[in-house]
Structures are given as C-alpha cells and as structure tokens.
Amino acid sequence: MIPKTLTIKGIRQGLLITLSEGEWGPQLDALGAYLSANPAFFRGGRVALDVGARRLNGPEIRAAAELLAHHEVELWAVLSTDPTTEAAVQELGLVIDLGPSAAPPAAGPAAEDELSRSAGPLADGLVIRRTLRSGQILRHPGHIVVIGDVNPGAEVVAGGDIVVWGRVRGLVHAGALGEEGAVICALDLAPTQLRIAGHIARSPDERRSKPVPEIAMVRDERIVAEPWSAGW
Amino acid sequence: MAARALTITSGKGGVGKTTLTANLGVALAMQGQRVVVIDADVGLRNLDVMLGLENRIVYDLVDVIEGRCRLRQAMVRDKRLSELFLLPAAQTRDKSAVQPGDMVRVSDSLREQFDFILIDSPAGIEQGFRYAVAPADGVLIVTNPEVTAVRDADRVIGLIEAEEKGPARLVINRLKPNLVRQGEMLAISDVVELLSIDLLGVVPEDQAVLGAANRGQPLAFSENSSQAGRAFHNIAQRLQGQDVPFLTFQEPSFLQRIFDFARSGGMGS
Ligand SMILES: Nc1ncnc2c1ncn2[C@@H]1O[C@H](COP(=O)(O)OP(=O)(O)OP(=O)(O)O)[C@@H](O)[C@H]1O
Ligand SMILES: [Mg+2]
C-alpha cells in the first residue's frame, strides 16, 4: 500500500511524487520504506518531488536526492511554492518546474525518455495511444493500456494491470507494486520478459506462427499465459 | 517554393547515412532539383570525400556559425552538377561547437534558394543528433536489416516522435536477398512491421558502393548501371512525391556470382 503521506503518478518525464504536509524527516522515512518495499517499480526511474509550501534548505533536499539515489532513482526536479526552497533546489542544479524545456535530455538507460503524458491520480488507468519504442519506459502506479505495440527494448511497468492492444515484444511488468493478482493481456504476447509482482517469465523461444490474444497471470506461484476466450 | 529540410539519421553508426546523403544529393540534382547537402558530422567529416569535393573546401559549417565567413563562401559547388552544393563539416572541432539553434538558422537562410536541404547526421543520439534534426521538416531513418541496427533505429524514431520532427520515413540499406532467403537476415517485411513507419526505399548491398565512395563519384551518377544506383534515384523520385514501384531483388544468377567473385577476390577491387 502507498502510505497516506505520499501520492505518485506517471508524468511525461517519469514519476511525480507529492509529499503531503508534515515533518520532513518522517516523510522521507516513509518514502524510503516505500521505495525499499517496491524496488521493481522504482529502480532506474526518474522522479520529480512536489514538496508543496515547505521551506527546505540545501542539505534537506540533498538528503532526499541521496535517499532516492540509494534506491537507484534519479531526482531531477523539486517543485515548491516557497521561493527559498526553489532557490536551494536551483543551487543544487535541479529543476524547479516540469515545463517541457525544463526536462533534461535523456541520458543513458536510466533516463525516462520524454514519454507519454500525465496521468490522473493513483487509482486511474493510463491510456497511451502509440507504439512504445526501444529505450522508452512507461511507468505508472495504476493500470496501463497501450494502444499500439511495445517494441523490443521498451518497458512498461504498472502497479496494476497492463493491456496492450497490439504486439508485445519488450518487457512488461504488471503488479510492480506487489499486486499478485495483476494480469497482462495483449493481442500478440511475445515479450522479451514478462513480470507480474515478483515473478519473472521469459517467452518461449519459438514464436507462434499465428498470434492469438492472450492473458497472463500468476497461478500457483508461476506466470501462465493462455489464449483469450470470450467469457473468461 | 521554400526548400524542405530532410535529416538522414540512424542511431547505429556505419549503416550508410553518408552514402545515402551523397547519392540522394546527386540523384535529386540530376532530376533537376536545387540541392544543398550539409555535413553535420562535425569532427568526422566524410561527405566531402564521398562527393569528391574535399580539395575545394575553404570554409566550413563551424566557420559560418562562428561568423568567420558568410554562408555563401562556405558552400562548395559540385564540379559535375551545377545545382548541387555541399556545406562541409569542420574537421578540427567537435560537436559542442554547434547548437540546435545554429542549424535552424543556417537551414532557414538556405530555404529560399533550394528545393532540398539534406542533412547528414552523426551516429548516436547525443548532441550531434540533436542539432542535426533540429531544422528537419522530415527525417529519413537509415537501417540495415540486422537486429541491432533496427533496434537503434526504433530508439531514434521514438526520440523523433517525441520531438515531433516527423514524419520519419525508412530506408533499408545493404539488403542481401540471398541471406534473407536463407533466414540469416531480416526480411523487409520484418523490419517494416517492427518500426511501423513508411518505407521510402530499399538499397541492396553492392560492392561498387565502396569503390564509388573512394573515387568521390557516387553510384547515382550512373543511375542504370547498378541496382543500388537505381534505388537511389527511385528514392529521390519518391521524395518528390512520385509513385515509383519498388525494385524486386533477384537471387544473383550463377554467372553473376562468378562475376562478383572475380570482381571481389580475383581482381582485387
Ligand atoms: N548499399 C551498400 N552496399 C555496400 N556497401 C555499402 C552500402 N551502403 C554503405 N556501404 C558501406 O558501408 C560503410 C559505411 O557507410 P557510411 O559511411 O555511408 O555510413 P554512415 O552511416 O554514414 O557511418 P557513420 O555512422 O560513421 O557516419 C562504407 O564503407 C560504405 O561504402
Ligand atoms: Mg557518416
């Protein structure tokens, strides 16, 4: 479960984590605990932190950056309505708004390519109406629907279910926040790797000659994929 | 009509961007278009050599950007085609000397006098790629029918879509039909299915490409003497909106193979 003190959503440049009001130290502790509990979801991601009206100094912001870095997450922006906080953020070479020009260029595999668009609150689904290409990572705490293909080298990581109206050739990870009941459906499911919660499966090396829609889920501690049939 | 700026790029290096740029420049100019080709591979200039214009360079792109000469002074007119110009890259500088805005400005001041501005992008997805695509009205993605090249092409198409520099169109270079038939090489349809962008042309593997590059005389000058030369001309026509059917590549005949063998091994070309 996501702690009540923070909300997470998928945005164009990665994830946006909003910290509610309250003392900085305990808030960071809660965030840290949540990151440790869900490494699969966050690892390699880029995060913007929204700290609201809080007044923070350089060391306090650096503590957040270090906490995230410890979990292999890059902090690239800190949003605040407090000018002192903003100044401290800029001092550290971080960005203070999410404007398109503010997004740093994608660098290395850890960078979330300038991707997708903002999603609603946590429970919402995110619908992406295009093909995800090599190097693009889509991460969202709720469900994800892709209308298009997921190409080799692309990744889709969802807290909930993943539905792909197209071909899956890349890596898809449903239930990445620990939800064992999450499912993955696609018109043609031939991923490099399939993950649900903590389980991992490769697709068989043989490719199906004629693809059929399939649904994958965890059953008896293993990921199984079966052809989709109406009335499932 | 103002020129269209087209950037030729690939992600993976060595797949044939410069070869395509040189040959398309020649083919378009032979078809009566006013063309300028820009070598955007600052520090690794090649396009001048492939076009046989190296010995005519006085100034280069970076000289223009840094105000050491006027744009006109840096442009080299082709010795064979009066409507083909080259804007060469600097050899002694690196890619940090050029910003995306510089490329936009240079291209904009060329638009009135030309029909096509072809920009030969460096490999990779860093600074050089970014400034090369900045002025583009369209992008030609070059790939070879190999898994790694296609993967990189896909990555680049994603970046171009994100920057809304499209439409991106695909050129598959170095196709070897006999290898496709043996299942050793991806088929055209596999590549197009994965990349799902418009296919602009397919250029077969042709040993004459290398010799032509070394002589500074792109194959497109003799359009009908090889399938590759023909393919470049077809691409040039498609860029002008003409509907040209795709070439079909036959397995080389027995005699042809003997001839190829003689050309490559026996006669030391
Ligand atoms: N159709 C072809 N048939 C045979 N050889 C080819 C063909 N196209 C390109 N080549 C050869 O491949 C090599 C690389 O070509 P080229 O320099 O055009 O690639 P590039 O993409 O510009 O490379 P870079 O990324 O280094 O700029 C050259 O030796 C060239 O002669
Ligand atoms: Mg080149």
Give residue A13's Cα distance to chain centre.
10
CB contact under 8 Å between A151 and B154, yes or no, is yes
> Do A213 and A116 share a structural domain?
yes
**Atom 25 of ligand 1, nearest CA residue:** B13
The last residue of a domain, from among A53, A73, A102: A102
Of the candidates A217, A157, A156, the one whose C-alpha atom is nearest the C-alpha of residue A181 is A217
Of the candidates A66, A63, A61, the one whose C-alpha atom is nearest the C-alpha of residue A78 is A61
* Nearest ligand to the CA atom of B219: 1
Quote the domain boundaries for residue A189: 111-227
Q: B7 near B140, Cβ under 8 Å?
A: yes
Spell out the alpha helix ranges (H) of B78-205: 100-110, 127-133, 147-162, 177-181, 188-195
pLDDT tens track for B179-215: 888 888 888 999 999 999 999 999 999 999 999 999 9
From A132, which residue of chain B is nearest by alpha-carbon distance?
A: B158
CB contact under 8 Å between A134 and B194, yes or no, is no
- Positions of chain B with pLDDT under 70: 1, 250-269
Quote the domain boundaries for residue B139: 4-268
The one-letter code for the residue type at A39 is P
CA gap A91, A58 in Å, rounded = 8
> Do A85 and A128 share a structural domain?
no
The last residue of a domain, from among A102, A133, A166: A102
A61: CATH: 3.30.70.260
Give the one of B130, B155, B163 whose C-beta lies nearest to A133's C-beta: B155
> Do A117 and A91 share a structural domain?
no
Asked if this assembly's ipTM is beyond 0.85, the reply is no
**Atom 10 of ligand 1, nearest CA residue:** B16
> Do A219 and A131 share a structural domain?
yes
CA of residue B13 to ligand 1 center, whole Å: 9
> Do A116 and A78 share a structural domain?
no
> Do A200 and A120 share a structural domain?
yes
The last residue of a domain, from among A63, A80, A102: A102
> Do A118 and A91 share a structural domain?
no
Residue A1 lies in a domain: no
> Do A120 and A96 share a structural domain?
no
Give the model's pLDDT for residue B26: 98
**Atom 12 of ligand 1, nearest CA residue:** B16
Number of domains forming the structure of chain A: 2
Give the model's pLDDT for residue A232: 55
Number of domains forming the structure of chain B: 1
pLDDT tens track for A52-66: 999 999 999 999 999
A195: CATH: 2.160.20.70
- Please report which confidence band the pLDDT of residue A21 belongs to, taking 50, 70 and 90 as the band edges: confident
Which residue in the block uniquely carries the two structure tokens 């050309």?
Answer: B263
CA of residue B18 to ligand 1 center, whole Å: 7
Give the model's pLDDT for residue B217: 95
Q: What is chain A's mean pLDDT, rounded?
A: 84
Which chain A residues have a beta carbon less than 8 Å from that of B12? none
> Do A211 and A118 share a structural domain?
yes
Residue A39 lies in a domain: yes
CA gap A165, A132 in Å, rounded = 12
B51 lines ligand 1 (CB under 6 A): no
CB contact under 8 Å between B158 and A105, yes or no, is no
The more confident residue out of A203 and A143 is A143
**pLDDT greater than 50 at residue A118:** no
* Nearest ligand to the CA atom of B47: 2
B216: CATH: 3.40.50.300
> Do A216 and A121 share a structural domain?
yes
Residue A178, chain B, CB below 8 Å: the answer is no
> Do A191 and A129 share a structural domain?
yes
Residue A232 lies in a domain: no
> Do A133 and A89 share a structural domain?
no
